[in-house]
Amino acid sequence: MSQQTQLAEVFETTFGVAPTVNIQAPGRVNLIGEHTDYNDGFVFPAAINFGTWIAATPRQDRVIDVVALDYDGERVRFSLDDIAHVDTATWSNYVRGVCKVLLELFPDLNGANLAVTGNVPQGAGLSSSASFEVALVKMFEALYNLNITGVKAALLGQKAENTFVGCSCGIMDQLISAMGKQGQAMLLDCRTLDFEHTPLPDSHVILIVNSNVKRGLVDSEYNVRREQCEEAAKIMGVTALRDADLALLALHKQAMTDPVYRRARHIITENQRTVSMFNALNAGRIAEVSELMAQSHVSMRDDFEITVPPIDYLVEIIDEVVGVEGGVRMTGGGFGGCVVALTPNSHVSEIMTAVEERYHARTGYQPTFYTCSAEQGAFA
């Protein structure tokens, strides 16, 4: 039984009627442009065929009644007039947070009955939370004919996560979930929120391999990287590293510690690579894509220092199979998580075999594979 069918059945069993609204919002993977988002830079994500589904009906009162299939059918009720952060059923904080930011725009909003399920692997860095937030905004928009654009929906999701759930995040995850296009990747300017899409080659798929290295350090190290980037920008006298180039960096090298210098060098070169990758894909230059993704990984490993040996080994194995016909790099915040490969469809089974034969033997970790296509966003 498909997740959507199961969702509809659970909804009907729980609420006694069929849902009037069915919503889906995708997760995402970032093909290149790592840690550039909070430096006002460029990112290059694609929405993927793993997402969050919501079935819903409107209510005449101000009550939210929500059942979560993925948490053993746990059910939560709360009033829109009394929204508080909770320590049990913490998944419901996403629902509460989205309701809270929507009420700032639409104070007379009514409640809803909803059932939720998803298949974005949690903790893999594929944006299960952003997918959930965007699906919730879309649900309210559909139930009550609210006038919300995709960009506005993304900003609302981000605000809910930053101010209510309490996670610091950039805008990329929500925006690609809202505005992704089928078969395409999106070049997003994180400063202006301007974006454009480019088709991915029909012959290629996005293969995500989860290293299953639990991401330790990621929060504390993320904050350190952020501070180092801000320090570098301050030393160079620019608003953000987006505004610096390698010549300016060289000019101020003496004023920086070596780690701060290398962090800045990663961001400056990564921004250049991200725009170059968009142009290379647009022109069908796959060998250039391969080189850019390889350079990105080396920069994350040596300059930004966010990879770990098992991840580096995964990239090495996949690169040996794909060569110049595709690209591979770590994706996400770092210290574990996933690698992403843009690979010819014909190489997928060969990659899986090579990884299964070699990765566990050296690292002790079992990999998980997700073969993905680029999908339509919830508001696109």
Active-site residue set: 173
67: left (phi over 0), alpha (psi -120 to 50) or beta: beta
CA torsion, ordered 10, 14, 18, 20, to nearest 10 deg: -100
Looking at the DSSP bridge assignments, the partners of residue 118 are 52
Q: CA torsion sign, 112 to 114 to 120 to 123? A: positive
CA 133 distance to own-chain centroid = 12
Q: Are 213 and 365 in contact (CB under 8 A)?
A: yes
Please give the Cα distance from 143 to 154 (Å, whole number). Answer: 18
Report whether 35 contacts 306 (CB < 8 A).
yes
Residue 148 sits at φ, ψ, to 5 deg, of -125, 125
β-pairing, 74-79 with 195-199?
unpaired
Both structure tokens of 84: 């508080």
Helix (H) or strand (E) holding 53: strand 45-58
Question: In whole angstroms, what is the distance from residue 301 CA to residue 307 CA?
Answer: 5
CB count within 10 Å of CB 214 equals 11
Long-range Cβ pairs for the range 140-148 (8 Å, 24+)? 140/98, 140/102, 140/106, 140/109, 140/112, 142/21, 142/23, 142/56, 143/20, 143/21, 143/56, 143/57, 143/58, 143/112, 144/58, 144/106, 144/109, 144/110, 146/102, 146/106, 148/379
Output the six-digit token pair for 285: 């230059």
| Token pair for 287 | 């060998």
